[in-house]
Amino acid sequence: MTSAIFSAHYHRTIARLDETADPIALLRLTATVARTIYENEAREIGLLRGASMFSPELRKLECEFENARFELNASASSC
């Protein structure tokens, strides 16, 4: 699941962030990173949610992923 959300496009954008010093370009790239994560997550989680209706194991995986995502959001906002 993590590799699907943090795709090759995400890693290319992160590499560009590391190489950029211009503050305006950094803001644009940050938005690209957020959009990439959101789009990949929406696609992958959407598929998982549809399938998890029929599988307790997938429902458990979805729950674990959601908990990890919430923990990441909480730790990011506490800085």
- pLDDT tens digits, 20-51: 999 999 888 888 888 888 888 777 777 777 77
Average pLDDT over residues 51-79: 75
Band of the pLDDT at 76, cuts 50, 70, 90? low
Task: Give the up-direction half-sphere exposure of residue 19: CA atoms within 13 A in the CB hemisphere.
Answer: 6
Residue-level pLDDT at 49: 72
Look at residue 12 and tell me whether its pLDDT is greater than 60: yes
The contacts found for 41-49 with CB under 8 angstroms, 24 or more apart, are 41/5, 41/69, 44/1, 44/4, 44/5, 48/1
Residue-level pLDDT at 77: 59
pLDDT averaged over every residue in the chain: 79
First to last CA, the chain: 26
CB 31, CB 17: distance < 8 Å: no
Average pLDDT over residues 6-18: 84
